[in-house]
Amino acid sequence: MAKQINNISGAEAIIHCLLEEGVDMLFGYPGGAIMPFYDELYKFQKELHHVLTRHEQGAAHAAQGYARVNGRVGVCVATSGPGATNLVTGIADAQIDSTPLVCITGQVTRELLGSDAFQETDIVGISTPVTKWNYQITRAEEIPEIMAKAFYIARSGRPGPVLIDITKNAQFDKFDFSYEPCKVVRSYTPKPVASEESLQAAAKLINESKKPMIVFGQGVVISEAEEVFQQMVEKTNIPAAWTILGKSALHTNHPLNVGMVGMHGNYAPNLLTNECDLLIAVGMRFDDRVTGDLKTYAKQAKVIHFDIDKAEINKNVYADVAVLGDAKESIEALLPLLNEANHEDWMNVFKSKKAIEQSQIIDHVIQPTEGPLTMAEVIHKINIATNNEAVMVTDVGQHQMMTCRYAESTTKRSNITSGGLGTMGFGLPASIGAKLGAEEREVISIMGDGGFQMNLQELGTIFQTKVGVKIVILNNEHLGMVRQWQELFFDRRYASTVMDNPDFVKIAHGFDIPSKCVKERSELESSIQEMLDTKGPYLLEVKVTKEENVFPMIPSGCSVSDIRLS
Which residues are identified as catalytic? 56, 118-119, 168, 481
SS (H, E, C) 228-292: HHHHHHHHHCCCEEECCCCCCCCCCCCCCEEEECCCCCCHHHHHHCCCCCEEEEECCCCCHHHHC
Residues 6+ away with beta carbon under 8 Å from 214: 233, 238, 239, 240, 241, 280, 281, 282
Q: Of 238, 247, 231, 335, whose CA–CA distance to 283 is shortest?
A: 247
Side-chain half-sphere CA neighbours of 510 within 13 A: 11
For the chain, the distance separating the N- and C-terminal CA atoms, rounded to the nearest angstrom, is 64
Q: How far apart are CA 244 and CA 264, in angstroms?
A: 10
CA dihedral sign, ordered 156, 162, 168, 170: negative
Instruction: Note whether 450 and 422 are within 8 A (CB).
Output: no
Q: Which residues contact 335 (CB under 8 A, 6 or more apart)?
A: 228, 231, 232, 235
Q: What's the half-sphere exposure (Cβ side, CA atoms, 13 Å) at 248?
A: 24
Structure-derived torsion over alpha carbons of residues 533, 534, 535, 537, reported in degrees to the nearest 10: -130
Among residues 283, 324, 320, which one has the least CA distance to residue 303? 320
Distance, in Å, from the CA atom of 58 to the CA atom of 50, rounded to the nearest integer, reads 13
Alpha-carbon 498 to chain mean position: 28
Q: Residue 370 CB: number of other CB atoms within 10 A?
A: 5
Length of the chain: 566
Element (H, E) at 463: helix 459-465
Helix (H, G, I), strand (E, B) or coil at 161: strand
Non-local (6+) Cβ contacts of 116 within 8 A are none
Whether 223 contacts 282, CB under 8 Å = no
Closest to 90 in 3D by CA, of 6, 141, 161, 154: 161
3-state secondary structure of 494: coil
Q: Can you tell me the distance from the alpha carbon of 203 to that of 207, in angstroms, rounded to the nearest whole number?
A: 6
